[in-house]
Amino acid sequence: MREIVLDTETTGFEPSEGHRIVEIGAVELFNHVPTGRTYHQYINPERAMPQEAFQVHGLGDDFLRDKPKFAQIAQDFLDFIADDAKLVIHNAAFDMKFLNAELGWVKKPLIANERAIDTLLIARRKFPGSPASLDALCRRFNIDNSSRTLHGALLDSEILAEVYLELIGGRQPGFGLSIEPTKSAAQSHSAGDWRSQPRPVPLPARITAAEAEAHAAFVAKLGENAIWNRQKS
């Protein structure tokens, strides 16, 4: 199963008001295991970057001026998310409306909303009443996000991939018994590599002293001919 963990950065909140995407970052998962394939692109929004957006993203007009326009990268992006892979997005409605607005403006196929897996909704269902921002989930799952001083699409998608795996049950939700995306991952998840280990603390006995005495008396009645007393031939 192929999934794409995705994030966008934009000049504002509403494409209907002329705001545009300035960055896309994405990480590929196969059967919930990162494959190492990523997609990252800065985009010239063809408009001035508002000061408040610059403060969030750290991307200014001078930096974005020579970057490709969305029309120039649209097909490469669609090729990366092809094969109807699910798109794992935090607050999916926001990113999906921007992606589909941009795709519509350049006459490219839109992305079906059914493809989106919204980690914000998953977190709110799993931890009702608790903060569900990406930073809050990193704190909950002890995921290092110390390098996230500014919002960046690729960094955020890499962090979100870790958060997503924790939200769906841990880093190996399927126990990895049938996952072979890469040689190293297949080796690390192989059932043949697993060995049971002694318990650090033995389990307590579940029989009472009276039951133990009754069992010993029963065994004594069997005499020396009991099968466990016979010598091996």
Catalytic residues: 151
Angle formed at CA 121 by CA 115 and CA 124, multiple of 5 degrees: 165
What lies within 8 Å, CB to CB, of 199 at 6+ separation is none
Nearest Cα to 39, choosing from 1, 97, 85, 94? 85
Bridge partners for 9 per DSSP: 23
CA-to-CA dists, residue 119 to 136, 145, 232, angstroms: 13, 17, 63
3-state DSSP helix/strand/coil percent for the chain, to nearest 5? Answer: 40, 15, 40
Give the span between the Cα atoms of 222 and 169, in whole angstroms: 52
Give the span between the Cα atoms of 75 and 78, in whole angstroms: 5
CA-to-CA dists, residue 86 to 32, 81, 114, angstroms: 11, 8, 8
Burial of 41 (0-12, 13-18, 19+ CB in 10 A): buried
DSSP state of 110: P
